[in-house]
Structure formats: C-alpha cells, structure tokens
Amino acid sequence: MGEKILIIGGVAAGPKTACRLKRLMPDAEVTIIDMDSIISYGGCGIPYFVSGEVSDEKELRTTSFHVVRDEKFFNDAKGVSMLTRTKALAIDRKAKTVLVENLDTGEKKDLSYDKLVLATGSTPNRLQIPGADLQGVYFVNDMHRAMAIKDDLAKGRVAKAVVIGGGAIGLEMAESLTDLWGIETTVLEYMDQLLPRIVDPAFAGMLAKHFRDNNVTVFTGESATGLEADETGRVCRVITPKRAIDADLVIMSVGVRPRSELAREAGLQVSRQGGIEVNNCMQTSDPDIYAAGDCVEILNQVSGMKNIAPMGSLANRQGRVAADNIAGIPSQFEGWVGSFIMKAFECCIGGTGLSYSSAKVLDFDAAVAITAQSDRAHFFPTQAVIMLQMVFDKTSRKVLGIQGFGPMNDSILARINAGAGLIARGATIEDFSNLELAYAPPFSTAVDALNATANAADNIAAGRLRTISIEDFMNWMDNPQAKPGWAALDIRHPKEAAEFVDAFGNDLWKAIPYVNVRSRHKELPNDKMLIIICDAGTRSSEVQIFLDSVGLTNSLVLAGGFNAIRRIGPGWWPSQ
Amino acid sequence: MGEKILIIGGVAAGPKTACRLKRLMPDAEVTIIDMDSIISYGGCGIPYFVSGEVSDEKELRTTSFHVVRDEKFFNDAKGVSMLTRTKALAIDRKAKTVLVENLDTGEKKDLSYDKLVLATGSTPNRLQIPGADLQGVYFVNDMHRAMAIKDDLAKGRVAKAVVIGGGAIGLEMAESLTDLWGIETTVLEYMDQLLPRIVDPAFAGMLAKHFRDNNVTVFTGESATGLEADETGRVCRVITPKRAIDADLVIMSVGVRPRSELAREAGLQVSRQGGIEVNNCMQTSDPDIYAAGDCVEILNQVSGMKNIAPMGSLANRQGRVAADNIAGIPSQFEGWVGSFIMKAFECCIGGTGLSYSSAKVLDFDAAVAITAQSDRAHFFPTQAVIMLQMVFDKTSRKVLGIQGFGPMNDSILARINAGAGLIARGATIEDFSNLELAYAPPFSTAVDALNATANAADNIAAGRLRTISIEDFMNWMDNPQAKPGWAALDIRHPKEAAEFVDAFGNDLWKAIPYVNVRSRHKELPNDKMLIIICDAGTRSSEVQIFLDSVGLTNSLVLAGGFNAIRRIGPGWWPSQ
C-alpha cells in the first residue's frame, strides 16, 4: 500500500488536499476526519442559502454535476476515507499518530500517518457581552447554524434583526434578511465605517448609502454592549451606548480566529495572532505536518506582513500546494494580495491589494486616484458609471491597491481581476496605464476605466494633478465657514450647478461651464482656493491645468466629482 | 507662443495626442487636420449605430457629458485647432511644413510644425472581384458609409444581406443586420473558420453555431468571386464557387491596411506590411515626426513579431505615449498582446495572447488546455458554464494565450483582463494557478475557472493529463471506422449516455458513471484507446489517473467534455 496521509478538517482545504493527493498518488491511503456530520460545503454560500436564493442546504455541498459530497461520495468517487463526527484530540509527532474520538460512540483510537495535514479552519469570535449566549443569537460559520437561522425565518419568528459586525459576511447576511425576507434589519459596526481596513471611507460611504437606500439601518462607530432576553429566554433587544434596538434575531459576525490549539499543543510553531506558521510549501515547523486554509498565517505580498486570510479561494489554492509538495512536486504558495468582491443588493464592491488607510499605516508614501468612468461605451444602452480607486506609492510608483464600486454585474470583477496579478508582482502605474484590457463597446471603453484611473494616478504622482479628498470636500459642504478661503468652481452644465449656487451663494459656488472656462476664466477670483467640480473629475483636471497656465494656481480637483458625492449622500461623515 | 504641433488625423490617436499635449503643454499650438467633416468618433460603435441600439450618429462622437466633439468643441473646450475637410498632400521634412488642401475650396497652403504626428489610420481592403464597386456594396470604415447603410435599411431597401469576411467587424455587422432589422444575412469567410488566426477552431465552431442558431447563415472556406447587379445597377447577388446568394446589401469587411503613403513619400521608414515604423516612444525614423494608431507597426509582446494592430484602444494608448514624449515625459509603449472581446447575440467571445494555431506556426512548443467551468458558484441562480482555453509553451511553461466563450455578460472579460497583463510579462502556468482572482458566490467559484484552466494546463505540461482535441473526437464521432482501436468511455449519468450507447453500440460507447468507475473498471477492455468523456473534462481527468493506476494506461480525455461538443454542434467540421 501507499503512503498514509491523514487530514484533519473536511470543509475546503482538507478535501482539496485529499482529492489532489489521490490524483497525484493514486496508491496513497488518504483519510479525512471532521467533527461535523456535514462536510465539504461552500460556506461562502450560507447567506444565499439563508436568503432562499439557494433553496436546499445540499446545493452548497453538491458537485457541479449534482452529486452530494458526503462520506459515500468521497469513498466511492474519490477513493478517500471520510470519517465524520470524529474529533482529533492530540497529535503524537514522535509516534506519528493522531488520537481521535468518535463523537457519537465516544470511542477513541489512534490513527497513524506518514504525512499529516491540518485544515482545522477558524472559529468565530464571540463578543464578551451580556446575553451573547441567548437563544436567537447566531454565528454564521457552519451549516447547522445556517439551517437554524433559516428555520427561525421560515417559522415567522423574526420581524427585526440586528447584525453585529459590518464586514463582508455580516453585510451579506443583512442583505439576505432584508431583501428576501423583508426583515427590518440593523447593522452595527464599531469602527467608523463598513468593511473597515478593507476599503477606504469614501467607498464604505457608497456602500452604506446603498444599504440604507435598501432599508437596512446602518450604525457605524457604535458597538453592542449587551443583549436582552424576552420572557422565553430568546433575544429581544440589542443595547448600544446610544440606543436600544429591538431584535428577534442577532447575527454575530465579528471576525474569526484560526483553530490552532491542536497544532500548538503538539508543539508546532504558531504565530502571536494564532495562525499556524508554514513555509511556501505549506509545511509547518514539523516537516511531516502540513497546514492549509483558515488556520494558517500567510504572507501578504503587498504589505510584506504575515496575517490570517480566511477565504475559501485561498484555502483551495493552499490545499493544492500542500498536496503537490507531499507528492514531491515543488509547487509554492507565495502569499496573497487581498482580492475580494461582494454583492450588495443592486451594487457590487470589490478590491485587491491595500486600502489607502492600510498603506498609510504601513508607512508607504501612499496617494490615491479616484475616477468615475463608464464601464462600457457611453453610447451603449447598458452603460453605467463605476467608481474606481488606485492606491499607489509616490516614490516607487508601485500600485498598492484598487477598489471599485459599481452596478451588480461583473464589471468591477473585470477590473479587480486585471489588477490582482500585477499588484502581486509589484507593477507600477505605467504598467496599468498600458495594460491591454479587452475592448469593444458592449464591454468597455477605448480607454478602459482602469487605464484611466492609472492615468489619473500618473498625473497625481507627477504633480500634474492636485486633488482634494471626497471627505474633505463633503466636510466643507457641511460647514463652509471652516475654510473661509475656499470656493467651489462648478464646471458642470449650468442647470446642474444652479441648486448649489442658490444654496451656497455666488461667492462660495462659482459656476462656469467646462466649455467656457477658456473664455471666461477672468471672472474667477485669484485670492481663493478653487475646488473644481465636475461629474467625474476628468474635465476638472483639464481645467486645473488651464487655470495654472493663466496664473490661477490655487486650485484642487474633486476626484470622482459629483458621481462620488451623489453615491455617498449627505450626512455620511460622520455616520448619522 | 509655444511649440507648434501638427497632427494629421482626427479620429482616435490624433485627438488623444492633441488633448494630452494641451494638458502637458498648455502653451503649445496644437492643430489637427482631417479629410473628413466628421471627426473624433467611436468607429467601433458603428455596428451598434447601424443596428439602431445607438439611434443618432452624434452619440458616437459625444463626450460622456453629452457634448458633440466637433471643431467648435476642440477649439473652445480643448484649445486645439481642428481643420476638417483638409487633406495633407505632402510633408517637407527639411522645411518642417505640411502642404494641405482644403477639400471644399481647393485652397492649398503650407502648415509649419515643430513636431508632426501622423495618425492617418487605415483603409479597408477591397476584394478585386467583379462588381466590387456596385451600389449597395459597403465598407464599414467611416460614419458616412455607416449612415448610408442605415439609410438603406430604414428605407426598406434590404431584405437579404451578405457580409464578406468573418472577422470581428463583419460578425458584429451580421448581428446588427439580423437581430435588429430581421434581415436574412449570410456571412462568407474564405478561411476554414470564423475569426481566423484570432481564435482556434473549437472556439470558432462555438461562435459559428451560435450565429447559425440566431438565423445567420455562415459559410466558411468559401470566398466571393463576383457580385451581380440588378437592372438599377444595385447589387443583387453574391457569387461563390459553390452557389449564388441573393443580396440587396453587401458588407465588405476583409481587413484593413495602414494609410502610410504620406509617410513613405516623405522618406520615413515603412515596413513591408505597410506600417509606419516607430520606436517605443512612437517616434518615426525622423525624430520630429511621431506616429500612432492604425497606421503604425507595433511589437507583439508574446510572439516577438512586429505587426499591424488596428484597434481603437491601442490607438488611444499610443497617442498618450506620443504626447508624453513630445512633452519630454519619457513614457513607453512596449507593444501589444492581442486582447479582444466581442458580443455575439446572447454570447460573448474573447481572448488575449496567441491562439494555439498561431503559437504552432511560431514554433512554440505549444499545447492547450480547455475547460468548461461555472462562471459563478454552481448554486447561484445566474450561474452559467464558460469555456476557457489556455495555450502554453511546454518547455518554458509560459502562458501564451487565453480564449473564452460564454454568455453575454462580463464573465469572459473578467478572465481575459486577468490574463492580459500577466501574459505580457511572460507569466507561467503556476502564476495563473495561484492568481488571486476575487471570489464570492455571485461572481465566481472558489477555484476560479481561470485557475482551474491553469491547473489543467499544469497537469498536461507535467504529463499527468493526456487529452484529445475536440476536433479529433468530433471527427471520430462522424466516422468511427477511421479509428478502429478507439472506444468512448462515457462517465456521465446513464441517462445522458443512453442515446450515444444506442447510436454507437456498446462496443464503441461504454457507459460507466463516474462514481462507479473505481468499482467497475474491470468491465473495460484493455485493447482499446479509451476516450473518456464527461461534461467538462474534470471528472474524466480523475478517471484517467485512476485507470492508469490499475493498468489501463491507454486513454485520452476529451477536454471541455460534452459542454464543448454541444456548443459546436454536429457537422461543424468541415463547415456545412
């Protein structure tokens, strides 16, 4: 018989490693153990199961050819022994055995291995607040909880819900509760914005407005301090420092931490953050033990920092690399860059690489370009404006990150995917200016939105474009007295500018249409900082250069223009 | 006053160069001349104007903020002098002047320049056949012809049309004639397939079937040898060696050639193919003369060959680089890779880099992986299967090209764009296996279709996967006697296999479901070459490895599986 490979964990990285191993080493004896009875499921699909878009939980664990991936499937089709309801208690590295317990019978035994793979995943963080254990308070980390949530919904037990945590999973859950079940839903995020650290404030602002427009209440900078129960012991209220919110259901989605106790107890190296330490071959500090998935710590190729990246896509890639190396194929997992994408009702938000705020914290010489460009030819019927941001290092001119917000289709995906591989390789602004994205009017513009964003970054890096952040401009709009030397120069169509001229007065809000700036620039004051505003920022950039050339050198361009302002809405900052 | 920049050509590269120049050198005197009265239009939008999806030709030449880009716009908004109906007759490089003629008045004069930019574009090829000049025979290369075509359609003059040329523009025109105007349309392509050289036969086959399914008649390997007129002198019939086809309208779309006569006559270096030769700064052999757009020859970064690449997106990028260099910014246009995308009714076809056939001609050690994977999670309601192909060099493991065919949305675009930048940088199969594409169930799968295609390529390159081409398999289906040693092993659901078992007989078409192969492999003959067939090729790959491990080493996997076969349809090869 072949080598004995034992894998602990049967959700994503574990099954991937097992199946790849059987393809590379058909003679190997591959065994997976998992504590759960339900294995090999697409956990990222849970919000769509809860919403009802996916009607049966089995759909999350069937193959593309409609066979359920259960024990029998792994045995018959894959030649992999799958032991469910089986818990690993301890690893004896010297004897190369794992002590396991059958959770149904209580029986314990040692399983021997030649190579061991830890795919133990992650465990959800639990807020240490009163009531966190009440009935009706759920995590979203396994199928049993997902089914319990859906059961509560189907039985009509839920009219109001609170989601604690404004990360991707929390927001996807909020959407599924609101959109399909019509539940009055509130999202609580203790940081100042949604998707903190992942996206920058302007993009989080667009997302928050879209959630609010879709009847989700969003409170940022606000944390749950306690949960209260009704007479039956079920949660009925969420308490924050500012208010009490009625809730028949609470989703607690405040991040995860690696499940690395087994590894630590076996003396393997585990990082301070709790991730199992691995090399590029996914090998732990014991060369006969590999690890992959949510339980490991990996290198971020942009920041150079090691951290936890609990994503199903990375788990699969790591599982493949682990299997390759066990089979003697020297493949490498070199790290991650942080690509993500998320549906949000009728919109989509995505990114790759670092946010501007992360880049600043990491001491990059970071700057940012924001554009509002058409996703396809402006004359094509399905055209829409997408907001893109490029974060770059002014010194090295390397692109550090991209973010996008647009309609719910694959237009943002197409730009994020274009950037991911290049950012991992340290590509520069020029590489993105010249990136040959596919063009035809139904799909893109001759100068693709991503190229245009790189061109804006190039102009900023070279000092040819001076911008003001959306936050600073919106703060000025809220309180113009705070910056007495500023005035807006609105170069949009006079009809579009009119309401602002009325509201702010002609001194604070000058309106000269773009096509007339060259002939009418003498009307402009030379003692003001002019904030040039158009719809997208493109015409404003041109006007800034022209004004410089006629001696009006005191101006800033509103990047992204009114397309950004409109998407964020009034009163966005700080949150209402 | 500043430097005098004269630009010949006012469609794409010319205006781009001019506008960028005015932003970099506000004092420069920038003049564009163009023979036409209509300038700065999106020529790629012509099929959508003809179809009626774009109702007014002006929409193809308005900015995103709805202003028509005419002479006045360039003068007022851009500070660029635009001289239309003005033809350049000769360049005097010594005097640094261009002799121009006003086509309305006949007046001639010399325009002086410090720097000259040639953006003279391309001219359509004309078949040298009888009747090529008849009324009702059109090229698709400028707005006047586009308006004339639409006028013919609107006046009800056209019931039947023939498009000569199965390239992208011809196919887009065929779609617009059929789909929106209900015209009985035939496409004639003299090569053996649609999009010759651009895509490989299997992908061209999928495209041809989809056109036929949408009521377009497609004849490949067939050329027009003459056009016949009715009594009014208008075209009424297209003659080929095989038939006569009635036609009230003929679109001749058989490629373009660079307009480089002016450059050649001025003694500038022009390639054998007729493209103006430029360096990476878009500078011609005269350092004071730049060139950009369809008229230049550029480097293909994958093949290493120089050629013509008449695409609006490249023209814009080249124009920017030309302007940068004229303004003293050392930016570079390093070449192109061949990214393209095309709408085809309800489908989409795209690619980047080299086709397999091109790679073979160029003496790469080329091989190809084809997959049929879900564009998004298989449980997500809008999921569809997309066909992807990766061409790679077996020796260097570099990825040479990607092709995709899928539904009409941005899912193919997202994979093509992800590949373009990497292919330009010589990325390997491993780079694509590990490429961190954004993942969430509404957008992709945990192992993205593109990652999966790279994984298949990896297995092929390493000898772990032996495939048969779709063409070879379909030829065998047409004529099994030609390969007496072959038998199909159909591992799909027995219901799916049944009709083929009936048609071919149990000796030629074995059916054992995937999940039973491990227990039933002894039923298989050991004296046959087994062609393993599933829906996508994935399960077949696994079965091949298993069969190898039990001594049945004589097998080939049908890459792309029945998903490919179904999309190509019977009788595709050779064309009907």
Q: Does residue A131 carry a pLDDT above 80? A: yes
Q: Does residue B557 carry a pLDDT above 60? A: yes
B380–A447: do the CB atoms touch at under 8 Å?
no
CA B199, B200, B204, B206 torsion-angle sign: negative
Q: Does residue A265 carry a pLDDT above 90? A: yes
Report CA-CA distances (Å) from A363 to A304, A460, B421: 12, 19, 27
A53 inside 8 A of chain B by CB: yes
Q: Which chain A residue has the Cα nearest residue B414? A: A414
Contacts of A465 (CB under 8 A, 6+ apart): A456, A459, A541, A544, A557
Q: What ranges in A132-237 are assigned the alpha helix state H?
A: 143-154, 168-181, 201-213
Interval A121-137 mean pLDDT: 96
The pLDDT of residue A571: 52
Give the tokens for residue A184. Answer: 């009055």
Interval B360-366 mean pLDDT: 96
Within 8 A of B453 by CB-CB distance, chain A residues are none
Give the domain A4-43+56-121+259-326 fold: FAD/NAD(P)-binding domain (3.50.50)
Q: Does residue A569 carry a pLDDT above 90? A: no
Q: Does residue A576 carry a pLDDT above 60? A: no
Within 8 A of A451 by CB-CB distance, chain B residues are 317
Q: Tell me the pLDDT tens digit for each residue of A518-550.
A: 999 999 999 999 999 999 999 999 999 999 999
B372 inside 8 A of chain A by CB: no
SS3 percent helix, strand, coil of chain A, rounded to 5, is: 30, 25, 40
Q: Does residue A573 carry a pLDDT above 80? A: no
| Cα angle B202-B206-B211, degrees, rounded to a multiple of 5 | 140
The pLDDT of residue B576: 35
The pLDDT of residue A537: 92
Share of chain B above pLDDT 70, in %: 99
The pLDDT of residue B571: 52
CA distance A124 to A312: 15
Q: Does residue A422 carry a pLDDT above 50? A: yes
Query: Sorting pLDDT into bands at 50, 70 and 90, what band is B21?
Result: very high
Question: Testing the interface with A: which of B22, B65, B432, B464 to mutate, by most A Cβ within 10 A?
Answer: B65
As a CATH number, domain B340-461 is: 3.50.50.60
CA distance B182 to A81: 59
A381 inside 8 A of chain B by CB: yes
Q: Nearest CA to CA, how far is B442 from chain A (Å)?
A: 7
The pLDDT of residue B64: 81
B444–A352: do the CB atoms touch at under 8 Å?
no
Window 301-360 of B: residues touching A by CB (8 A cutoff) are: 311-317, 320, 329, 331-334, 336-343, 348, 350-352
Question: What secondary structure letter does DSSP report for B166?
Answer: -
Tell me the average pLDDT of chain B.
95
Give the domain B467-568 fold: Oxidized Rhodanese; domain 1 (3.40.250)
Within 8 A of A518 by CB-CB distance, chain B residues are 76-77, 79
A329–B424: do the CB atoms touch at under 8 Å?
no
A379–B549: do the CB atoms touch at under 8 Å?
no
B76–A515: do the CB atoms touch at under 8 Å?
yes
Give the tokens for residue A418. Answer: 């274009």
Within 8 A of A439 by CB-CB distance, chain B residues are 44, 311-313, 339-341
Within 8 A of B433 by CB-CB distance, chain A residues are 317, 320, 331
Q: Does residue B271 carry a pLDDT above 50? A: yes
B440–A343: do the CB atoms touch at under 8 Å?
yes
Report domain extents, chain A. Answer: 4-43+56-121+259-326, 137-254, 340-438, 467-568
Question: Testing the interface with B: which of A60, A374, A405, A417 to mutate, by most B Cβ within 10 A?
Answer: A417
Q: Tell me the pLDDT tens digit for each residue of B168-215.
A: 999 999 999 999 899 999 999 999 999 999 999 999 999 999 999 999
Q: Does residue A574 carry a pLDDT above 70? A: no
The pLDDT of residue B493: 93
Q: Nearest CA to CA, how far is A298 from chain B (Å)?
A: 14
Within 8 A of B541 by CB-CB distance, chain A residues are 23
Q: Tell me the pLDDT tens digit for each residue of A2-46.
A: 899 999 999 999 999 999 999 999 999 999 999 999 999 988 999
Q: Does residue B2 carry a pLDDT above 70? A: yes
The pLDDT of residue A1: 65
Q: Nearest CA to CA, how far is A514 from chain B (Å)?
A: 7
Give the tokens for residue A74. Answer: 């792994």
Q: Is the ipTM of this complex over 0.90?
A: yes
Window 203-242 of A: residues touching B by CB (8 A cutoff) are: none
Share of chain B above pLDDT 90, in %: 94
Query: Sorting pLDDT into bands at 50, 70 and 90, what band is A386?
Result: very high
DSSP assignment of A318-362, as one string?
A: HHHHHHHHHTT-------B---EEEEETTEEEEEEE--HHHHHHT
A438 inside 8 A of chain B by CB: yes
Q: Tell me the pLDDT tens digit for each residue of B218-252.
A: 999 999 999 999 999 999 999 999 999 999 999 99
Query: How many alpha carbons lie under 13 Å from residue A287 in its C-beta half-sphere?
Result: 1
Q: Which chain B residue has the Cα nearest residue A172? A: B440
Q: How far is CA B178 from the centre of its chain?
A: 20
Window 528-567 of B: residues touching A by CB (8 A cutoff) are: 534-536, 539, 541-542, 545-546, 548-549
The pLDDT of residue A65: 81
Q: Tell me the pLDDT tens digit for each residue of B91-108.
A: 999 999 999 999 999 999
The pLDDT of residue B66: 84
Question: Testing the interface with B: which of A379, A405, A495 to mutate, by most B Cβ within 10 A?
Answer: A379
CA distance A362 to A77: 48
Give the tokens for residue A324. Answer: 């390759």
Q: Does residue B574 carry a pLDDT above 60? A: no
Q: Tell me the pLDDT tens digit for each residue of B426-475.
A: 999 999 999 999 999 999 999 999 999 999 999 999 999 999 999 999 99
- What single letter denotes the amino acid at residue B204? A
The pLDDT of residue B67: 87
| Cα angle A538-A380-B250, degrees, rounded to a multiple of 5 | 130
Q: Does residue B572 carry a pLDDT above 50? A: no
Query: Sorting pLDDT into bands at 50, 70 and 90, what band is B1?
Result: low
The pLDDT of residue A538: 92
Give the domain A137-254 fold: FAD/NAD(P)-binding domain (3.50.50)
| Cβ pair A120, A256 in contact under 8 A | no
The pLDDT of residue B82: 97
- The whole-model pTM stands at 0.96
Q: Tell me the pLDDT tens digit for each residue of B35-73.
A: 999 999 988 999 999 998 898 999 999 888 888 999 999
Give the tokens for residue A433. Answer: 């200016």
Q: Does residue B255 carry a pLDDT above 80? A: yes
The pLDDT of residue A66: 84
A414 inside 8 A of chain B by CB: yes
As a CATH number, domain B4-41+56-121+257-326 is: 3.50.50.60
Fold equal for A4-43+56-121+259-326 and A137-254 = yes
Nearest to A316 among B447, B514, B536 (CB): B447
One of 3.40.50.300, 3.40.50.2300, 3.50.50.60, 3.40.190.80 is the CATH number of A340-438, namely 3.50.50.60
A518 inside 8 A of chain B by CB: yes
The beta-strand segments (E) located in A284-438 are: 289-291, 296-299, 306-308, 340-344, 347-353, 366-374, 385-393, 399-407
Q: Tell me the pLDDT tens digit for each residue of B313-326.
A: 999 999 999 999 99
Question: What secondary structure letter does DSSP report for A526?
Answer: S
B421–A421: do the CB atoms touch at under 8 Å?
yes
B422–A424: do the CB atoms touch at under 8 Å?
no
